[in-house]
Structure 1
Amino acid sequence: MSNIEIEVLSTSIIKPSSPTPSHLRTHQLSFIDQLCGHIYNPSVLFYPPQQDINGKQLDLVEISNKLKQSLSEVLSWYYPLAGRLNRDGNDPFVDCNDEGVPYVEARVVNCKVSDIVRNPILHELPKFVPLNLYGKVDLLLGAQLTIFDCGGIAIASCVSHKVGDGLSALMFTKCWAAIARGEDHDNDRFSKMLRPHFVSSKAFPPRDISVLGVGVDIPMKNIVARRFVFEASCLEVLRSKYPKSQNKEEFSNSRRYSRIEALSALICTRYIATSLGFGGEKKRYAIGHAFNLRSKLDPPLLENSFGNISRTIVKSLDLDLTSCGEEEMYGEVVKQMRELMNSGKEQEFVRNLEKGIDQTSNFLKDHAEEFVKGELVSFNFTSLCRFPLYEDFGFGKPSWVATNPIPYKNLIVFTDNKSCDGVEVYIDMEEEDMARLERDDEFMSFVSLPAQS
């Protein structure tokens, strides 16, 4: 498929349906919010051609009006998103001034929804999102309706990572979809499950983050993104092919490795294996995984608590690349990946964050020189599996949901496929590394569908 051509039809500003009370006009950022960058978490839902019960194509003007009205209503609850990020001074905050969010109407002139679902072009997906994903403005949210000549539509939103993590962005979409399809939002279920709770700055009070030092600029060449699809049958083959560990007795009574543990280890080991001979033997490696902290706080927070209530834990991989074979290396990596996943359940990590101690920042600072020189290579994993992706805005479930973030070296994002039995993996890598991975027969033997760029 050639490059997607999109024509912007109109841009309007949607404001909350009711004004934000004066005592809520300032939204304080939490400690973790302070550590996060002002980039956007995008979500694009692609729907097939829309028809009513009589088989007639739905009125797209009516669809757009419904989306705008429901967006206005949801903004009265997600009121910080209708405000503006104030970055003056050392204590940034959100001015909840109800200035509203941009809502863009656009149309695709050269392809159908089915073309994109069959063959997504990841670097073209930002065209369906109304804001530059690198956060070059003070807006915290944008929404876009894109219309296809075939009658299909795409509904997109992007929430700033400065105020919310990936789950917060998905819960916003879930709430917006519920209102759009006409769900009663005055009942108890809606209040408990969908209305946001702004408690992150109480859980993680803001701090003077200047003591953490400056961030680390990890060297990057040409970053490319690919989506790999792993169906359930291929995942079972992966989970059963490799031994649980080199020490089988130690793990004989433990549970099987999860899909995420197995896939994470596969990506790491195949990257390392295909890099040997290209300077890989001179490097060290680290793995990081983002963890949802809502259930780990005391008392635990609701899943619809809004903010950056997740954080990445990073650890060095302990590998002797001179003595272990590829299968033994996989056994070591998957074992250490499980140890990392288990460390995300420890209360000490959460208690340190509550005190303003961030393991990730400290790790990056301690190894800054190695990162800058390219001697230490990190893999950064995020899983959105089992989170709500395929939302019904009143048109049934979408054909596909795209969640590809901005390109970042060795960022790997896991999502469920539509049937929730397989996994879609978005991988961002430098072009040369990606080319080696795509040529690797061992890695590609587990991939169900060809890589899509």
Structure 2
Amino acid sequence: MKIKVILNSSCLVQPSEPTCNGCMPLTESDQTGVLTHVPTIYFYRPPQNWLTPKDTIFTTLRTSLRRVLVHFYPLAGRLRWLDGARLELDCNGKGAQLIEAHCEATLNDLGDLTPSPHFHYLIPQINYMVPIEEIPLLCAQLTKFQCGGISLSYTISHAVADGQSALHFISEWARLARGEPLQTAPFLDRKLLRAGEPPSAQPRFKHAQFDPPPLLIGQSSSENESKKETTITMFKLSKIQVEMLKNEANRTRACDRRVRAYTRYESIAAHIWRCSCKARRHVHEQPTAMGICVDIRRRMKPPLPEKFFGNAIVDVIATSFSGELMTRPLGYAAGKIREAIDSVTSEYVHSAIDFLKNLKDFSMLQDIHTLRTNQGPFYGNPNIGVVSWMALPLQGLDFGWGREIFMAPGTHDCDGDSLVLPGYEGDGSLVVALCLQAVCMGDFKKFFYEDINETKKNGSIIVD
């Protein structure tokens, strides 16, 4: 079924009070990697008193957005190019975009609300062909359905905020919409990560995350792989299945009390990595890499403020050969992931900053292209990325009309992208949102659940 979404209005929402003006230097992490907007969508069934008059919800969102932007004023600014494909943030108060639309369908017409092509029409679409100085850093869209249900989606430039910062913003926006005061102001000074400073040293570690990723054996580029059709599937893991994977990953771990047990993330990411190699039918000699996003707020010395607003993350790479991942125990892959994560120390972060500060040009390390194109870096087959949202406060987002009935990441159709999210029931279950080439997804699903069932033969369950 094709749904029809009609745009009613679009406006720029500016802070309700004067804010700091001028240029804000960005960190090296802000300026590299994915610079496009990251979407998230929430679905609600508001009570009747919120539906009349018909502009009540939109007015509440616009008024509270004006107020919250006073505190999160960088989101009302614009990016600006500098020499060497570097960027800075112009805090000019131009505003965030707020869109109102209606849909000639019901929420029931969307089925179980898991990510689908329908989401494309429910999420603000960013035109990356216009100058970057004209692109809002925050765009939100309210869509009303025939049944009285609504969706609220927002998309935030990754050049300005990581996942934790984005969730901090959206939760404070919801608090103000409910008529409550701001709970915690963001910490906006990026100089803690040496933003705007000149290079002061050479890197002290190797930083493989900035090297080109492995290619399929026999191919000289990723062009053919990047053109293949992809599909998105949500894989549910019950608490028992999560514990089974963790048990299996730890089954062959050295019996050394000083060695920490592999975590849920390490175990699940290892399982995803191994299943992707099987589903893609890699030869045993195929090099493969897994991208891991590590939050550095507590790894820095001294630690960053908890509400540091920006990109307090470092990407690291776990590498192996597909044959070893497919034939050796799950703990082998989990060990590779643990090794990559444990490499991220305060010294390592400063070395990565030094590496980037010494580069003359960032363009080869940036993905500034819109989704559904073959432009920009390609990190798909034979590679994969597994991002954890397990610890983020994704659910229970109440703007005054009650908590959502469902939330999901927006459309992400890059081969190999995956997210691990908390299950909606709050019972310890998890959900893996995976984008893979369409021809591989059926086999992936088969291996994903068959391999979990195989773990029943191995030992008892470890509980967190």
- Range class of TM-score, shorter chain: 0.7 to 0.9
2:239 to 215, 224, 232: 232
- CA drift at 1:423: 1.3
Match of 2:319 in 1: 316
Aligned in 2, Cα 1:233/1:89: closer, same or farther, shift over 3 Å?
A: same
Equivalent positions of 1:46-85 (< 5 A) are: 46-52=43-49, 57=51, 59-85=53-79
Aligned in 2, Cα 1:149/1:76: closer, same or farther, shift over 3 Å?
A: same
Offset from partner CA, 1:373-411 (integer Å, 9 cap, x none): 999832212111121112111122111111235322211
Match of 2:390 in 1: 385
CA distance in 2, matches of 1:374, 1:415: 21
Letter in 1 for 2:416: N
Letter in 1 for 2:88: F
Aligned in 2, Cα 1:245/1:75: closer, same or farther, shift over 3 Å?
A: same
2:123 paired with 1:129:
yes
- CA drift at 1:430: 1.8
Match of 1:16 in 2: 15
Letter in 2 for 1:410: G
CA distance in 2, matches of 1:110, 1:375: 35
Letter in 2 for 1:314: I
**Which consecutive unaligned segments of at least 5 residues does structure 2 have?**
214-220, 366-376, 454-464
Whether the 8 Å CA contact 1:40–1:133 is kept in 2: the answer is no
SS in 2 for 1:106: strand
Letter in 1 for 2:352: L
Whether the 8 Å CA contact 2:285–2:321 is kept in 1: the answer is no
Aligned in 2, Cα 1:133/1:437: closer, same or farther, shift over 3 Å?
A: farther
Match of 1:198 in 2: 188
What value does the CA root-mean-square deviation take over the aligned residues?
3.4
The farther-off stretch of 172-181 and 57-66 is: 57-66
Match of 1:451 in 2: none
Offset from partner CA, 1:186-241 (integer Å, 9 cap, x none): xxxx2xx2x221122441334789x999977854122322221212122223333x
Offset from partner CA, 1:2-56 (integer Å, 9 cap, x none): 23321111112211101223xx32121111112133301112111124234xxx8
Letter in 1 for 2:124: P
Offset from partner CA, 1:295-345 (integer Å, 9 cap, x none): 222222223211111121113126654xx874x34231122222233333x
- CA drift at 1:108: 1.6
SS in 2 for 1:331: helix
Offset from partner CA, 1:45-87 (integer Å, 9 cap, x none): 11124234xxx85544111111000001111222121122212
Whether the 8 Å CA contact 2:381–2:415 is kept in 1: the answer is no
- CA drift at 1:88: 5.0
Whether the 8 Å CA contact 1:108–1:147 is kept in 2: the answer is yes
- CA drift at 1:132: 2.4
Offset from partner CA, 1:241-287 (integer Å, 9 cap, x none): x252535434x6655432212211111111223344xx432411112
SS in 2 for 1:296: coil
Letter in 1 for 2:383: S
- CA drift at 1:437: 0.8
2:419 paired with 1:409:
no
TM (norm. structure 1) is 0.81
Equivalent positions of 1:248-327 (< 5 A) are: 248-250=254-256, 254-276=259-281, 279-317=282-320, 321=324, 326=327
2:172 paired with 1:166:
no
Offset from partner CA, 1:105-149 (integer Å, 9 cap, x none): 01121232x454624243322322223286865221111111112
Aligned in 2, Cα 1:334/1:42: closer, same or farther, shift over 3 Å?
A: same
Whether the 8 Å CA contact 1:49–1:150 is kept in 2: the answer is no
Letter in 2 for 1:77: H
Match of 1:369 in 2: none
Letter in 1 for 2:402: G
2:403 paired with 1:397:
yes
Match of 1:450 in 2: none
Aligned in 2, Cα 1:376/1:422: closer, same or farther, shift over 3 Å?
A: closer
Equivalent positions of 1:362-373 (< 5 A) are: none
Letter in 1 for 2:194: F
Whether the 8 Å CA contact 1:79–1:98 is kept in 2: the answer is yes
Match of 1:148 in 2: 145
Aligned in 2, Cα 1:58/1:289: closer, same or farther, shift over 3 Å?
A: farther
Letter in 2 for 1:339: E
Aligned in 2, Cα 1:319/1:142: closer, same or farther, shift over 3 Å?
A: closer
Whether the 8 Å CA contact 2:237–2:429 is kept in 1: the answer is yes
CA distance in 2, matches of 1:126, 1:317: 35
The farther-off stretch of 377-386 and 116-125 is: 116-125
2:431 paired with 1:431:
no
Aligned in 2, Cα 1:44/1:325: closer, same or farther, shift over 3 Å?
A: closer
- CA drift at 1:292: 1.0
Letter in 2 for 1:348: E
Aligned in 2, Cα 1:39/1:118: closer, same or farther, shift over 3 Å?
A: same
Aligned in 2, Cα 1:395/1:49: closer, same or farther, shift over 3 Å?
A: closer
SS in 1 for 2:118: helix
TM (norm. structure 2) is 0.80
Aligned in 2, Cα 1:268/1:63: closer, same or farther, shift over 3 Å?
A: same
Match of 2:350 in 1: 351
Letter in 2 for 1:180: A
Whether the 8 Å CA contact 2:301–2:346 is kept in 1: the answer is no
2:27 to 27, 30, 33: 30
**Which consecutive unaligned segments of at least 5 residues does structure 1 have?**
366-371, 447-453
Letter in 2 for 1:300: P
CA distance in 1, matches of 2:48, 2:447: 44
Letter in 1 for 2:409: T
CA distance in 1, matches of 2:434, 2:342: 23
Aligned in 2, Cα 1:108/1:293: closer, same or farther, shift over 3 Å?
A: same
SS in 2 for 1:429: strand
